[in-house]
A and B are shown apart, each in its own frame.
Chain A
Amino acid sequence: MNAFDSLMAGLSLVGNIQAVLALTIGVAVGVIGGAIPGMSATMAVALTLPFTFAMPTIPALLLLLGVYKGGIFGGSIPAILIKTPGTPASSATILDGYPMAERGEAGRALGMALWASCTADLISNLALILFAGWLASFAMNFGPPEFFTLILFSLTIIAGVSGESLLRGALAALLGLLLATVGLDLVYGTNRFTFGDPNMMGGLNFIAVLIGLFAIPEVLAMVLNPTGHLGKTRSIGKNWVTFADYRRSFKSIVRGSFIGVALGSIPGIGAAPSAFLSYSEARRTSRNKEAFGKGEVEGVAAAEAGNNGVAGATLIPLLALGVPGDVITAIIIGAFMVHGLQPGPTMFVMNIDIIYGLFIGLILSSALLFMIGSVAIRGFKYVADIPRRLLIPGVLILCIYGVFAVNNNLFDVGVMFVMGWVGFLMMRYHVPAAPFLIAFILGPLLEDNFRQAMLMSGGDPQILVRGPITWFFWVLTAVTLVAVARAGFRGVQDKVRVKTSS
């Protein structure tokens, strides 16, 4: 079968009302699921999975892929409106999205999030179609030493999200790394800071930490000063993003999309680090550097492009090698198996029509996301108009249910409240929360890969420079650290100059 025949065969699978309807429902469910804090795209996909067992193969897979795509975008809606990311991937969107909402530009931020998401989604899907085999084979060259150097490099983005003080950012990151050590040691199975409590043995629940860190401090801040928000604009404002905004952010969107594609094609990295890396790069190269973190529309665009760029790319190792790129694709691989399909190189030979059908469906999903996302924004934006002193108790209840639902465990609700206090104190002391979260996500990966590399080499550190990939990431890390040190040094010099002149 040549490419044209395969394309036609794929089109015949997708070109029917059942497949298009499944994809549409999937995107809608995903957007709604992603928009509910604590629900997350992962949970939405997991909840949809049982419904697909009785469905034909293509509609079933398209339904799940639709939920996945919709869920990643949906997470940006509460991130912008109530500073609570619906999915971990939307954490970076808060940094500029929420200040825009505070300024009365929630509509503009949501519009830009949608445009950037759809653009990145399209680029990611095209990358999947064009580079599936090549990128997947490159990612397969990664062992623990390569992952260690990659994650170490990813941690340098903390400098970009530390705000006014690099030292306070570093302190937050170290706190996140330390908290990530809680649980059973993965190599020896011994206890680390578990205090003998079985709830602590699996480590602290990520969703509980995430929601505690971002949503609960808002509740506590409102309790501390119930009238502090009065006089601040918080309406939707201008309803839609302008084309000029989009054109201005286009470079960051494309860059973020490619960062998403590159990181998404490497199994295990996920959308949250990609969003932060994209955001950090956009900030580094922008002429409006100072406006980032204070409500810069380009920041929203970069973060959303980064996380949506991952959504198509995580399917690259899934389809080409049968290796899931993240948790969600690990759930989706179950649906493939239930329908008698084994993702991997043989699928490109035996079921090429299904592969092309999925490709066409994914392209269609970008257009559907745009339409459904536009409707969702118009619906969800009214959340911003709810009186804040009614919204905040609602957020509290939503957080309690959302965090409990992840593991059916009340202990997680307690963790969320404790982390809420940590986040509140960090807020009062102007310690940024983003480095904490990045370090908490990347910490276990960093440590595990480091120790696995050491186990492989019998403790010889030379394994960490064993090949061109490790060298590449070491050089990138060194260059970034030098740039950060230079910027910090210049900042100190500027301060001294201002002091002496005054």
Chain B
Amino acid sequence: MNAYIIQLRLGLLAIAASAFLLFVAIPAWVTTPGGIQNIVLSPSFWPYVLAGLTGLVGAGLVLAALREQRDGAAYDPPIADRGRAYLRLGLMTVIMVVVTVGTAAIGMVWMSMAAFVATAALVRTRHPVAAVICGILLPLVLYAFFAHVASVAIPQGNLVRLP
């Protein structure tokens, strides 16, 4: 992506976000009590101001994009094998969702071990044995510290409970 594409996309996204906030999100999801005399004291005043400013900055970004060269130099080197790269990102998202949703049932230690090994495999580590050893030891050490030194109630899950 070059400066033109970045500024244009960000600008349009900011304008769309601003419109969404002004016309949908703030009226629907900001509760304003009745009988407020002064608008500046309303809970929705600040979000409206910020949403308006977001629209203005978005317009500024679009104008800035129009000043850039359309075929300007790209900021970052291209990603090799784009399809596989996005597949890995998709799998990483699955890991994140599983960690967030499944930790309470599986237990943080076991879930962390699985997440460590899965992430190491995803980034194609050259040290698979070390990754498995670290994947087992690190969550156990962190559990020992947080549960027994810091007295944090680490989720144990329904499978195997640790002392």
Bound pair: A and B? yes
Whether the Cβ atoms of A414 and B100 lie closer than 8 Å is yes
Of A170, A224, A455, the residue contacting B57 (CB under 8 A) is A170
B30:A193 contact, CB within 8 angstroms:
yes
**A142 on the B face (CB < 8 A):** no
Q: Are B50 and A168 in contact (CB under 8 A)?
A: no
Tell me which residues across on chain B come within 8 A of A396, comparing CB atoms. 115-116, 119
B31 located at the interface, meaning its Cβ lies under 8 Å from any Cβ of chain A in the complex: yes
Task: Give how many A-B residue pairs fall within 8 Å (CB-CB).
Answer: 187
Query: Which residues of B lie under 8 Å from residue A451 when comparing CB positions?
Result: 40-41, 46
Chain A contact surface mostly: helix
Report B-chain residues with C-beta under 8 Å of the C-beta of A171: 10, 14, 54, 57-58, 61
- List B residues 121-162 near A (Cβ within 8 Å): 122-127, 130-131, 134-135, 138-139, 142, 146, 149-150, 152-155
The verdict on B16 contacting chain A, using a C-beta distance below 8 Å, is: no
Taking CB atoms, residues of chain A closer than 8 Å to B10 are: 168, 171, 429, 431
What are the interface flags for B24-51 relative to A under an 8 Å C-beta threshold, 1 for contact and 0 otherwise? 0100011111000110110110110011
Contacts of A170 in B (CB 8 A): 57, 60
Does B66 touch A at the CB level, under 8 Å?
A: no
Q: How large is the interface on B (under 10, 10 to 19, 20 to 34, 35 or more residues)?
A: 35 or more
Q: Is the interface of B mostly helix, strand, loop or mixed?
A: helix
Q: Verify B123–A392 contact, CB threshold 8 A.
A: yes
| Contact with A454, one of B40, B80, B152 (Cβ below 8 angstroms) | B40
A116 within 8 A of B: no
A379 within 8 A of B: no
Find chain A residues with CB under 8 A from B104 CB. 410
Proximity string of chain A (391-430) to chain B, C-beta cutoff 8 Å, 1 when within and 0 when not: 0111011101100110010100110010011000000111
Q: Which of A193, A410, A421, A461 contacts B29 (CB 8 A)?
A: A193
A165, A174, A192, A413: the one contacting B43 at CB < 8 Å is A192
Min Cβ gap A294→B in Å is 15
On whether the beta carbons of B127 and A387 are closer than 8 Å, the reply is yes
Q: In angstroms, how far is the closest chain B Cβ from the Cβ of A28? A: 15
B9 with A404: CB separation less than 8 A: no
Give the residue of A178, A389, A401, A450 whose beta carbon is less than 8 angstroms from that of B125.
Answer: A389
A500 interfacial contact with B, CB 8 Å: no
Q: How many Å lie between the Cα of A177 and that of B57 in the bound state?
A: 14
Q: Closest residue of chain B to A46, judged by CB?
A: B150
Interface pair B125/A187, CB less than 8 Å apart: no
Compute how far the CA of A421 lies from the CA of B152 in the bound complex, rounded to whole angstroms: 27
Q: Which of B1, B50, B120, B126 contacts A174 (CB 8 A)?
A: B50
A192 and B60 form a contact (CB under 8 A):
no
CB distance from B59 to the nearest CB of A (A): 10
A413 to chain B: which residues have CB within 8 Å? 99-100, 103
Report B-chain residues with C-beta under 8 Å of the C-beta of A431: 10
Is A350 part of the contact surface with B, judged by Cβ < 8 Å? no
Interface-side segment among A98-106, A215-223, A271-279 = A215-223
B92 within 8 A of A: yes
Given the known inter-chain contacts A222-B123, A226-B124, A408-B152, please indicate yes or no for A390 contacting B89, CB distance below 8 A.
Answer: no
Contact across chains for A429 and B6 when beta carbons are under 8 A apart: yes
Residue in contact with A459 in the complex, picked from B9, B29, B41, B152, CB distance below 8 Å: B41
CB pair A174–B57 under 8 Å, yes or no, is yes
Select from chain A the residue with minimum beta-carbon distance to B80.
Answer: A225
Residue of B25, B88, B89, B134 near A394 (CB, 8 A) is B134
Q: Which residues of B contact A219 (CB under 8 A)?
A: 92, 119
B69 CB to closest chain A CB (Å) equals 8
Partner of A192, one of B29, B130, B134, B139: B29
Interfacial residues of chain A within 155-208, with CB under 8 A of chain B in the complex: 165, 167-168, 170-171, 174-175, 177-178, 181, 185, 187-188, 190-195
**Residues of A that sit less than 8 Å from B by CB:** 43, 47, 165, 167-168, 170-171, 174-175, 177-178, 181, 185, 187-188, 190-195, 219-220, 222-227, 387, 389-390, 392-394, 396-398, 400-401, 404-405, 408, 410, 413-414, 417, 420-421, 428-431, 447, 450-451, 454-455, 458-459, 461, 492, 495
> What are the nearest 4 A-B pairs in CB distance?
A459-B38, A185-B43, A190-B31, A393-B119
Please give the residue numbers on chain B whose beta carbons come within 8 Å of chain A beta carbons, in ascending order.
1, 6-7, 9-10, 14, 21, 25, 29-33, 37-38, 40-41, 43-44, 46-47, 50-51, 53-54, 57-58, 60-61, 64, 67, 75-76, 79-80, 85, 88-89, 91-93, 96-97, 99-100, 103-104, 108, 112, 115-117, 119-120, 122-127, 130-131, 134-135, 138-139, 142, 146, 149-150, 152-155
The contact sample of 16 A-B pairs, CB cut-off 8 A, is: A168-B7, A170-B60, A175-B54, A178-B21, A178-B54, A185-B31, A188-B43, A387-B125, A394-B116, A394-B134, A396-B115, A405-B146, A405-B152, A429-B10, A451-B40, A495-B67
